[in-house]
Structure 1
Amino acid sequence: MALTLASAAALLGKHHLLREIIRGDVWTLDPNRLGDAADAPVTDVTYDTRTVSEGSLLFCKGNFKAEYLDGVDEKGLAVYVAETDFSSATKAPGLIVDDVRRAMSLLSAEFFGRPQDELTVVGITGTKGKTTTAYFTQAILNAASDGKAALFSSVDNCLDGRTYAESDLTTPESLDAFRMMRTAADNGMKYLVMEVSSQAYKVDRVYGLTFDVGAFLNISPDHISPIEHPSFEDYLDCKRQITYNSRKLVLGADCAHADLIREDAAAAGVPVATFALHNDGRGVGTPADTVAWPADAAHAQYRLASDGVELGDFRLSMDGDFNYANAAAAVTIAHAAGVELDDAKALHALEAVTVAGRMERFEDPQSNTVAIVDYAHNFASVTALIDFVYERYGDRDPRITLVTGSAGDKAFDRRKEIVEAAEHRIANFVFTAEDTNTEPFIDICMEMQGYITDPNVASTVISDRSTAITNAVYDARAHADHFNVLLLIGKGNERWIKDRNRHVPYEGDDRVVERLFGLNQK
């Protein structure tokens, strides 16, 4: 059924969002008072006035100003949705609502024919591991369904099970998400796996969306700033919303505040399945439905078991014990989504998965040096990354250099926490550019350098990121009597650096390393 002003008003009223409908001097709750306009089909939905066309419904979100509506009547604007009356700027009727973002999510889903009802939708949240777990889960579901699993991630979006396009946000704006869901459903997809950020709940990008399977991987302080979350409690509260908006929940058994999340699930009547990473297969560790543990002393492969039944040995293409925890999460999620645990082909599909910018390892043929490109960007992920280095290379007494920066204008705690996670375990910091909004790179780098308390760790500030990585490589080659590990974190495979609200082209950490090491570039 086509979306109309009348059906939009009815839906908003049902969710207690509609305040009134305004057109000129008419203020009403009854769209029929607007005559034929009430039943005219909406031809498109948008939040960008530049894309308004005949029959469009426009969402006036954010810091919207009346002057943005100049010329929309001539373009054929049919109706706008806003928290403010803009009748002085347009002749189109306005649906005045309490919360335009919530209204946008509900109406977008309706305009695109509720594509979520045609898909098994998986939502994955957590402080770390969301992206890798999403890719692992998609691989299993794709193998089980002959390539019918779509993906929304912070790296790529995939709407046909095989073609990947770079994404802009961890969780898309609701209108964009439902448009892509419609495309995925029309492409014959059976599943959709999507990352769900805390901001997705904070700003209602997934309002009204119920996940068939929700996953809560882990939680640790992050994204605390005036423009993100004012406190850890607020951050956790936003993450917890996935429990109340899922039909089944997959939970990291070792997750901080797991007891609270179990209480959420019990209150919502949502069944819970758990996963965990153990040290061995003798049941040592937090009890969980699905567990992973090392199958050999080198941690080169892991064994998985679910519901007490061993699923076999797995050798991932991605390094790090934490990725076997992510694999255990993915197996648990896929099983909750309907994949049978005896489908060995489907489960082993995760072994071939690689994620650009996540635990990508490069060896320098000119020196005894390994470089790892990863998206680690907070205390928990930096700690896990350095743990991996010592687990894999500890017997070689690695000399570790960390090339890092931190985001501007947000997540201020990260700057100190990255230093605290690393300073007593590495030889050298190189502080450099990462994404910012208004803060100069050099100011963030100098602030981070100021948090160093260990007199035995060296540090350098080089604001140009390519130069910083080059310096780290040359420094490693100058210390050829050591085994050197370069950790290049925070940017992954991104081909830009955000500077003063502009995306400035950047070669990419991986490509800089490939060039300096003389490797075949991708």
Structure 2
Amino acid sequence: MSLTLQSAARLLDEHHLLREIIAGDLWTLDASQVDDADKPFADITYDTRTVNTGSLLCCKGRFKAEYLDGIDTHGLAAYVAETDFSSATKAPGLIVNDVRKAMSLLSAEFFGRPQDNLTVIGITGTKGKTTTAYFTQAVLNAYSDGKCALFSSVDNCLDGHTYVESDLTTPESLDAFRMMRTAVDNGMRYLVMEVSSQAYKVDRVYGLTFDVAGFLNISPDHISPIEHPTFEDYLYCKRQIIANTKQLVYGADMAHVDLVQQDTAVHHVTATSFALHNEGKDSGTAANTIAWPSDDAHSAYHIAIDGIDLGEYHLSIDGDFNYLNAAAAVSIAHAAGVPTDATNALHAMESVRIAGRMEQFRDPQSNTIAIVDYAHNYASVTALLDFVYERYGAHNPRITLITGSAGNKAYDRRKEIVKAAEKRIHNFIFTAEDTDTEPFIDICMEMQSYITVPNMTSTVISDRPTAIMNAVYDARAHADRFNVLLIIGKGNERWIKDHNKHVPFEGDDHIVERMFNLSNGN
């Protein structure tokens, strides 16, 4: 379906977003009074640099009139904005109450509502979104012969097998619908996408209804002036996925589960739950899908749906919490139509590995294990340390945490990371992570100030490669102990964000491989 000024105005009016149309001296609600109102737009964009003949421009964010200088020479057909820019362009303007909501609706329409040709699955939660998304895609790919797309915080995949690094956990709405269109054109039948709290905060998924949504868990995170002012606001934004899905899969042991269950009742959403029973099949909270260890070492787990044992699962990613993610993925895939007897498809997630997530390396020169992971908040650091003590606790490990925290946002993480770790480790090394304008050293010094354990060893080394190298040398100097180096926050990313620029970076995993002289990884 082509998008025209007239159809765009009608759509916006239906959603109570249209204020008026301004074309020169003409102010109207009737698009037919505007020249070329039935001429299809050639493109839709939010970037003035990509405007060409026939483009519809969405003026989102802190848009200024000067951004339109010379725009008419590029052939701008119309613009959507919350402000009248008729003094800067001759193109007609669709003046709206909320340009982000308008952009989402118009983008879906421009790209022919590709979501209608996909089973769209959204996954939210404080931790585990990416791993669960990859597990779910693996199952659906196996079930559909490679016809599942993926939007994640690590990669986007539009053809079932080619992965390209992503910029956002949840893409801008215009980009998301463009990618959905490509996925449909590539023959995809399913789409699994991570849905961040910001996606609802800034309307990146406005107007999108999920066929299945997964709500994994919730804990305080992303609290800052530019993200969520309070935990209540963070949770509220997360909960919006419940009002915008047909089916919900949720963690039976998640915090505020009663509120989530009330939401499902209010919005008449079919809901199923999943849980991890660490001490055996019948040792935990009742849930539709459960996972429980099949041996004392927790090296494998059984997963069952509604009492049907799906067999034993041996994941390629360590950690009990990843078996919980696996239970979530199985439950989500089942809700999306994968039957319990599709054994090969359900077990497809066993081979999934995600670069930078629970990657383990052993130093041949010392009794040292290094784990590279994306852990970046209280919940994920706690889960990581739980795994270390469960797997290596008998060795009385000497644990060093190499960590930083994001700049200009999520200020709560800085204290929470320290709080999660300080009574369970032997040494902190604070170092650079991604930042906007805050100096790395200031963030590191702030995190160091939150240590409350007397005589805790801590060091600030703002250069990240140097910090990792120092941790390795320190471990080798304590070769009489079993050492665990936890290098968190960056995973396998090959850049560090500094003053809004991506500065090339070797990568935590590559630094460890180089220091351990591992030519072929772990």
Normalising by the smaller structure, the TM-score range is over 0.9
In the TM superposition, what is the alpha-carbon distance from 1:249 to its structure 2 partner? 0.2
Distance (whole Å) between structure 1 residues aligned to residue 221 and residue 191 of structure 2: 26
Q: Secondary structure at the match of 1:141?
A: helix
Q: Which residue of 1 aligns with 2:61?
A: 62
Q: Which residue of 2 aligns with 1:430?
A: 429
Matched, 1:261 2:249: no
State whether residues 357 and 510 of structure 1, in contact with CA within 8 Å, keep that contact through their aligned partners in structure 2. Answer: yes
Distance (whole Å) between structure 2 residues aligned to residue 282 and residue 26 of structure 1: 70
Q: Secondary structure at the match of 2:487?
A: strand
What does 1:381-420 correspond to in 2, within 5 Å?
Answer: 381-420=380-419
Q: Which amino acid aligns with 1:444?
A: I
Deviations 1:405-444 (Å, cap 9, x if unpaired)? 0011111111111011001110100000001111100000
Q: Which amino acid aligns with 1:242?
A: I
Distance (whole Å) between structure 1 residues aligned to residue 194 and residue 178 of structure 2: 16
Q: Which amino acid aligns with 1:23?
A: A
Q: Which amino acid aligns with 1:421?
A: A
Deviations 1:40-74 (Å, cap 9, x if unpaired)? 11000000000000000000000111111111111
In the TM superposition, what is the alpha-carbon distance from 1:283 to its structure 2 partner? 1.3
Q: Which residue of 2 aligns with 1:237?
A: 236
Structure 1 pair 277/242, CA: closer, same or farther in 2 (3 Å)?
same
State whether residues 295 and 303 of structure 1, in contact with CA within 8 Å, keep that contact through their aligned partners in structure 2. Answer: yes
Distance (whole Å) between structure 2 residues aligned to residue 375 and residue 271 of structure 1: 32
Q: Secondary structure at the match of 1:101?
A: helix
State whether residues 281 and 291 of structure 2, in contact with CA within 8 Å, keep that contact through their aligned partners in structure 1. Answer: no
State whether residues 424 and 457 of structure 1, in contact with CA within 8 Å, keep that contact through their aligned partners in structure 2. Answer: no
Q: Secondary structure at the match of 1:310?
A: strand
Matched, 1:227 2:226: yes
Identity %: 76
Structure 2 runs not aligned, ≥5 long: none
Deviations 1:279-300 (Å, cap 9, x if unpaired)? 2334111100000011000011
Q: Which residue of 1 aligns with 2:139?
A: 140
Distance (whole Å) between structure 1 residues aligned to residue 455 and residue 190 of structure 2: 51
State whether residues 372 and 486 of structure 2, in contact with CA within 8 Å, keep that contact through their aligned partners in structure 1. Answer: yes
Q: Which residue of 1 aligns with 2:203?
A: 204
Q: Which amino acid aligns with 1:83?
A: E
Q: Which residue of 2 aligns with 1:104?
A: 103
Q: Which residue of 2 aligns with 1:4?
A: 4
State whether residues 86 and 93 of structure 2, in contact with CA within 8 Å, keep that contact through their aligned partners in structure 1. Answer: yes
Q: Secondary structure at the match of 1:328?
A: helix
Q: Which residue of 2 aligns with 1:33?
A: 33
Distance (whole Å) between structure 2 residues aligned to residue 456 and residue 521 of structure 1: 39
State whether residues 427 and 456 of structure 1, in contact with CA within 8 Å, keep that contact through their aligned partners in structure 2. Answer: no
State whether residues 21 and 94 of structure 2, in contact with CA within 8 Å, keep that contact through their aligned partners in structure 1. Answer: yes
Structure 1 pair 46/282, CA: closer, same or farther in 2 (3 Å)?
closer
Q: Secondary structure at the match of 2:224?
A: coil
Higher mean displacement: 117-126 or 26-35: 26-35
In the TM superposition, what is the alpha-carbon distance from 1:501 to its structure 2 partner? 1.1
Q: Which residue of 2 aligns with 1:14?
A: 14
State whether residues 368 and 485 of structure 2, in contact with CA within 8 Å, keep that contact through their aligned partners in structure 1. Answer: yes
Q: Which residue of 2 aligns with 1:460?
A: 459
State whether residues 281 and 290 of structure 2, in contact with CA within 8 Å, keep that contact through their aligned partners in structure 1. Answer: no
Q: Which amino acid aligns with 2:24?
A: G
Distance (whole Å) between structure 1 residues aligned to residue 200 and residue 414 of structure 2: 25
State whether residues 47 and 58 of structure 1, in contact with CA within 8 Å, keep that contact through their aligned partners in structure 2. Answer: yes
Matched, 1:188 2:193: no
Q: Which residue of 2 aligns with 1:174?
A: 173
Q: Which residue of 1 aligns with 2:378?
A: 379
Structure 1 runs not aligned, ≥5 long: none
State whether residues 21 and 93 of structure 1, in contact with CA within 8 Å, keep that contact through their aligned partners in structure 2. Answer: yes
Matched, 1:520 2:519: yes
Q: Which residue of 2 aligns with 1:126?
A: 125
Distance (whole Å) between structure 1 residues aligned to residue 113 and residue 170 of structure 2: 18
In the TM superposition, what is the alpha-carbon distance from 1:456 to its structure 2 partner? 3.7
- Aligned-pair RMSD on alpha carbons? 0.7
Aligned residues: 521
State whether residues 429 and 461 of structure 2, in contact with CA within 8 Å, keep that contact through their aligned partners in structure 1. Answer: yes
Q: Which residue of 2 aligns with 1:151?
A: 150
Q: Which residue of 1 aligns with 2:288?
A: 289
Distance (whole Å) between structure 2 residues aligned to residue 262 and residue 50 of structure 1: 46
State whether residues 301 and 323 of structure 2, in contact with CA within 8 Å, keep that contact through their aligned partners in structure 1. Answer: yes
Distance (whole Å) between structure 2 residues aligned to residue 128 and residue 66 of structure 1: 40
Q: Secondary structure at the match of 1:38?
A: coil
Deviations 1:102-156 (Å, cap 9, x if unpaired)? 0000000000000000000000000000000000000000000000000000000
TM-score normalized by the length of structure 1 = 0.99
Deviations 1:359-378 (Å, cap 9, x if unpaired)? 11111111110000000000
Deviations 1:440-463 (Å, cap 9, x if unpaired)? 000000011111111242100000
In the TM superposition, what is the alpha-carbon distance from 1:521 to its structure 2 partner? 5.0
Q: Which amino acid aligns with 1:9?
A: A
Distance (whole Å) between structure 1 residues aligned to residue 417 and residue 87 of structure 2: 51
Q: Which residue of 2 aligns with 1:484?
A: 483
Q: Secondary structure at the match of 2:372?
A: strand
TM-score normalized by the length of structure 2 = 0.99
Structure 1 pair 290/32, CA: closer, same or farther in 2 (3 Å)?
same
Q: Secondary structure at the match of 2:123?
A: strand
Q: Which residue of 2 aligns with 1:350?
A: 349
State whether residues 214 and 249 of structure 1, in contact with CA within 8 Å, keep that contact through their aligned partners in structure 2. Answer: yes
Matched, 1:445 2:469: no
Q: Secondary structure at the match of 2:37?
A: helix
